[in-house]
Amino acid sequence: MAYKVEKLKINYKTLEEFKRFKEYGLQELSMFEDLEANIIENDSASPFYGIYFGSLLVARMSLYRVEAKFDRYFDPPQDYLELWKLEVLPDYQGKGYGHALVDFAKSYGLPIKTNPRVKSQEFWAKVGFTSVHYDMERDLGENPIIWYPSGAAEQ
Amino acid sequence: MAYKVEKLKINYKTLEEFKRFKEYGLQELSMFEDLEANIIENDSASPFYGIYFGSLLVARMSLYRVEAKFDRYFDPPQDYLELWKLEVLPDYQGKGYGHALVDFAKSYGLPIKTNPRVKSQEFWAKVGFTSVHYDMERDLGENPIIWYPSGAAEQ
């Protein structure tokens, strides 16, 4: 089954929907405050992408393109996507929503880095991500994993 | 009650003890592999500090001094401590172990930054940490909080 991945806009409805997700944190609170204070407009662009089941947001992730000059993960250094807060609501897990979001991220043809929760290793292995060689000064408390299209390799 | 905070050495015993902690991840696996392959010696230094109750490691954290030139959190930019994997075993929580570890980190007199789990906000507020202003390009999926001695301020 093909799911439609949508770029999410920041408005009160979306921010309310975000509260259903476990990884609701400073990023969402800051969006809410900016909206309240009219620092950002209603329906501004966001780094979030999601999938709706009917009118319910059931899966989401955040994506950001990191410029090559900041790259410390790939060889040669290049633009890559940082992916975070990939999450599917409990009742909708195991139905391919997470997979569809990752496929969407891969469709940019850029390497991807993410720092998954410890319990999600199996999922990430299935979608082709592998562990980097841990570097304390760079990775600190992270457990970075990466995926790369042909042509890119780990630093 | 005063607890003794010890700098932990990397050996098979310590690495076995680390398995009791939830945030066991790539960092620990990499230490284990390096030890197995003789890339690091038994009893090498580690970024971990811990507190023992008898012979049992009941609390731990990791600390790393980030140089001023990499500082994106404090104003003026300065050396600071990154703190991660602060964790107390379930049966030992609420007895001041976490607080003792944070006090130890503060004793260096440097600003501290950490990226706590979403559920631990109350603890961090109690020990004087405050949220930064979220900056997506810098913070991505993190929820950074900081503590600073007098003289340092947020960027």
**pLDDT, tens digit, 9 for 90 and up, residues B65-88:** 999 998 999 888 999 999 999 999
Is A60 within 8 Å of A92 (Cβ atoms)? no
| % chain B with pLDDT above 70 | 96
**pLDDT, tens digit, 9 for 90 and up, residues B13-39:** 999 999 999 999 999 999 999 999 988
Contacts of A25 in chain B (CB under 8 A): 118, 141, 143
Which of A24, A84, A137 is nearest residue B140 as measured by Cβ atoms?
Answer: A84
- The domain B6-154 belongs to what CATH superfamily? Gcn5-related N-acetyltransferase (GNAT) (3.40.630.30)
**pLDDT, tens digit, 9 for 90 and up, residues A17-56:** 999 999 999 999 999 999 999 888 888 889 999 999 999 9
pTM score, whole prediction? 0.89
Chain B nearest-CA distance from A145, in A, is 10
User: Which helix (H) or strand (E) segment is B106 a member of?
Assistant: helix B97-106
Domains in chain B: boundaries? 6-154
Among A107, A109, A116, CA closest to A85 = A116
Is A84 within 8 Å of A46 (Cβ atoms)? no
Q: What is the pLDDT of residue A2?
A: 83
Q: What is the pLDDT of residue B76?
A: 87
Per-residue pLDDT, averaged over A101-123, amounts to: 93
**pLDDT category of residue B144 using cuts at 50, 70 and 90:** very high
pLDDT tops 70 at residue B151: no
CB within 8 Å: A27 and B139: yes
Contacts of A139 in chain B (CB under 8 A): 26-27
CB within 8 Å: B64 and A115: no
